[in-house]
Amino acid sequence: MELRESAQNYLESILVISKRQEVVRATDICAYFGYSRPTVSVALKHFRESGLINVDVNNHITLTQEGLEVATSMYERHTALTQMLMQIGVPKEIAVEDACKIEHDLSPETFECLKRYFEAHKAD
C-alpha cells in the first residue's frame, strides 16, 4: 500500500508517542502536530478502516503490524537522516526538520546507499 507523506507522518507520530508514554490517544496526536481534534479524528478513522491502527474501547490507539512496519521504516529513516545531516555539520534543529522532508521522497535504494556510506565513514 502506497501511503502519502501525511499518513506516514501520522503513523510515525503514533510510534514516537508510544515510546514516550504508555498509551496513545487522539489528543496526544493533536498535541504532537498542533492539529485540531476533527482533523486527527478523520485521519484516524481512515487508518482504522485501512487496517493500519486499532482503537480500543478506551480510545487507546495502537499500530497494527502493517502500520508498525510503515512507522518503523519512517522512524528509522528520520533518525538516520538526522544523524547523517548532523555528521556533515547541519545544526540539530535544522537536521531534524530537513530529515522529515527528505525521508518521504528518498528511494529505498538511495537510503540504503547513504546508510552504508555513512557507516563506512563514521571514523573519518
**Mean pLDDT across 84-98:** 95
Percent share of the chain, pLDDT over 90: 85
Dihedral angle of Cα 108, 113, 116, 119, to the nearest 10 degrees: -100
Query: Does residue 71 have a pLDDT over 70?
Result: yes
CATH classification number, 75-120, choose in 3.30.470.20, 3.30.70.100, 1.10.60.10, 3.40.50.970: 1.10.60.10
* pLDDT tens digits along 11-40: 999 999 999 999 999 999 999 999 999 999
Q: What are the distances in angstroms from CA 97 to CA 86, 87, 100, 107, 121?
A: 12, 15, 5, 19, 23
For 5-69, CATH number out of 1.10.10.10, 3.40.50.1860, 1.10.3720.10, 3.40.50.10420 equals 1.10.10.10
H or E stretch including 108? helix 108-120
Strand 53-55 with 61-63, pairing: antiparallel
Q: Which pLDDT score is estimated for 3?
A: 83
pLDDT band at 87 (very low <50, low <70, confident <90, very high): very high
Domain layout of the chain by residue ranges: 5-69, 75-120
